[in-house]
Structures are given as C-alpha cells and as structure tokens.
Amino acid sequence: MRRRDMLLASAALPATAASLGQSGTGGPVKNTVISSANGLAACKRAHEILEAGGDTLEAVVSGVTLVEDDPEDSSVGYGGLPNEEGVVELDASVMHGPSRRCGAVGAVHNIKNVARLAKLVMEQTGHVLLVGDGATRFARTWGIPEINLLTEKSRLAWVAWKQSQRDSSGHTNWTNWLDMPDDAPRKQAQNSLRRQFPEASDELLAWAFSVAKYPPTGTINCLAVNEKGEMSGTTTTSGLAWKIPGRVGDSPIIGAGLFVDQEIGAAGSTGLGEENIRICGGHTVVENMRHGMSPKDACLDAMKRIARNYNGDLKKLSRFDINFYALRKDGVFAGASLWSGRMSHGYMSAPKFAVNQGGESRLEECAYLLERKV
C-alpha cells in the first residue's frame, strides 16, 4: 500500500466513527424528517405537517421555507451571500417519491422561496430544470412577488470581500489607498467599512471579514418519510459566496444535491457542490442503499469516491468540506461529513445534522471519513 493510501485508510476508520451518524430502529416506520444542521425549525415544521396527514413534499418544502425566509441564515434564500456582483442567486430542487416526479431551478434572482418554485416546475410543467431569467419569468407567471434578496448584513460582507480582492502589488480600488498606511490594509478596510455601515457591531464586522476570507458554502437539505413509507426531499441554497454569476452548484442537480427513490430511500448533500456533482452523490448514496449498504455506509462510500478523486491527498481534501444525509424507506437515517471537525469563524466543531420524530428537533453527530487534526 502506498503511503498516501495508508493515511487515507487509517483515517477512514477513526475509533469513534463506528458508533456515529446513524439512527432509526428499522421497526415500524415513524414520521421522520432529517436535514442539515441549520434545519431544526424546518424539521419541526415538516414533522407537524406529516402528523397532520400532509404530503411528504409539502412537508419538507414548508419546512425549508422557514430557512429561506430567515435573513440570519446567510446560506439560503433571503439574506443569502451574493455572487461576485452582489446579486443573490438561488438554486433549489425537489423530488416527490410517490409520484416519482422532480423539479428544480438554478441561478434565480429576486425570488425568495425557490424550493416552492422548484415544486411549481414539477407540478406545472413538463420540464425538470429552469434557470436564470427563465425561472424568474416562470415565477412571475404564477404571481410570485419579486424582492431584493440582499440584506444589509450580506451587502456588508460583500463589500468586505470586494475590499479584500487585491492585485499582486496589494492594490485595490475599493479602499482609499492614497491614505492607506503601508502596514495596515486591514485596519483601513475596517475603518472604511465602519464609515459605510455605522450601525455594524464589531462582531458583525469580524463575521464579514471572516466570510470574505473563507467564502462559505451553506444550504439546507431536508428529507422526509411518513408512516406509510412515502418519501420526499428538497435542497435549497444561495450556493457558494462570491461565485461567478451563473455558477450553479449541486443543489438543483437531481442526482447530486438530491435524489429520492420511493422504493429505497432519499439522500441529499451540503458543502462544496462541485465535488458532489463529480460523483453524482445523491444518486450514489441511494444506489448504495439499494445494494444493501446502511445509510451511514452508503454516505461514507460516496465520501470515499470524493477522496479518491484527489487520490486521497489530505492536503487538497482539507481545503473543502462536504456532507451527505440519507434516509431509508424503513426510517433508518444517517448524516456523514468528509471531516470530523469543521472550522467556522475560528472555531472547530463536530459536524451535526437535524432530526425530528415528534416534539422538538434534535442535533445528531455525523459520521465522518477523515479526522481533522487542528
């Protein structure tokens, strides 16, 4: 075995990983909703709809609508971090198990609830994917209001990002460089931001600099099964911050950011979408379950395919993160991450996913492929 393979193989079986990441009894199916960690409220809302006898797709779409509406979640819907031109550009997909239909939208401007828009594509057209201006015009047909999705918080972060872009001599047109002391470009940028956003707290400015330096991803994927074993899923996102306009990630790609097979189960993903698209992750996870893998093993196998695309080069793999979520038709579920720990704004935390099987939602720890050493 080559050294690189050895590193990957030994990292692939961390001592704690065996017990992490998978739950569910496999007994009589309970109404169950899982999502990425930002979906505690979404799972609760979706579960309430399942309990009331509602459709599984209506449940997950209503759940993620809460996150799309939330200006504080800067990875989804209203308040999402924008593209490099300061325009919030959203992607979403839905799959409905019982009817085996799906719909998706990509690079949509000015429409907040794109999961619902994807559901309309599924219900009202013979198409699967509408993008860009066509998707916005389609929304207009159905009377969906258009709004500016860029909040002041996200605009502040965008300006901080623009000011951080420099040529090789350190020059930027986005600060008053004639006044700038040689050794203090960051201080200068901070002062100029403070003048433009006088209400911004130190904490908000620190967040803006952090997301400018490390462009975050973020998304919500939400999957549901009801007591009859009917399944659906949705994924909705503002995608990668500061992306090139028109960039579409994995979230609206059926088979990558989301896949549901009513006979088997459902899977979805968050994290760097390009890596997921390369392995058709959602479909791969469901196919793995079809061939007998547990939800957890199915996710970890997909993760191994991502690692293999870099020949297990840990340095390259350390530059991104990705997560899979899987819910089998019998109610067994799992979440898995590429890395054991996630760096966010200077802190390391264990990756988690949200679950609701009645009452309050809870967070469970994800299984992981690789152990991150600080």
By annotation, the residues acting in catalysis are 219
Options 63, 271, 312, 351; binder of ligand ASP; rule CB under 6 A: 271
Measure the CA–CA gap between 138 and 136, rounded to whole angstroms.
5
We find the least distance from the C-beta atom of residue 246 to ligand ASP, in angstroms, to be 13
Nearer to ligand ASP, 185 or 249 (CB): 249
Q: Total residues at the site for ligand ASP (CB under 6 A)?
A: 13
Measure the CA–CA gap between 44 and 359, rounded to whole angstroms.
7
Question: Is residue 251 a contact residue for ligand ASP (CB under 6 A)?
Answer: yes
Measure the CA–CA gap between 202 and 191, rounded to whole angstroms.
11
We find the least distance from the C-beta atom of residue 49 to ligand ASP, in angstroms, to be 24
Q: Which residue in 187, 249, 257, 188 sits closest to 216, CA to CA?
A: 249
Question: Is residue 273 a contact residue for ligand ASP (CB under 6 A)?
Answer: yes
Question: Is residue 80 a contact residue for ligand ASP (CB under 6 A)?
Answer: no
Q: Three-class SS of residue 236? A: strand
Question: Is residue 218 a contact residue for ligand ASP (CB under 6 A)?
Answer: yes
Q: What does the block give as tokens for 274?
A: 């390009």
Question: Is residue 240 a contact residue for ligand ASP (CB under 6 A)?
Answer: yes
Nearer to ligand ASP, 162 or 342 (CB): 342
Q: Three-class SS of residue 316? A: helix
Nearer to ligand ASP, 329 or 372 (CB): 372
Stretch that binds ligand ASP, among 98-106, 174-182, 247-255, 258-266 (CB under 6 A): 247-255
Residue with tokens 């996913």: 353
Options 110, 113, 217, 357; binder of ligand ASP; rule CB under 6 A: 217
Q: Phi first, then psi: what are they for 173, rounded to 5°?
A: -80, -5
Question: Is residue 255 a contact residue for ligand ASP (CB under 6 A)?
Answer: no
**Cβ neighbours of 132 (radius 10 Å):** 16
Question: Is residue 219 a contact residue for ligand ASP (CB under 6 A)?
Answer: yes
We find the least distance from the C-beta atom of residue 338 to ligand ASP, in angstroms, to be 12
Residue type, 24: G
Measure the CA–CA gap between 193 and 225, rounded to whole angstroms.
47
Measure the CA–CA gap between 183 and 155, rounded to whole angstroms.
26
The contact set with ligand ASP (CB under 6 A) reads 217-219, 237, 239-240, 249-251, 270-273
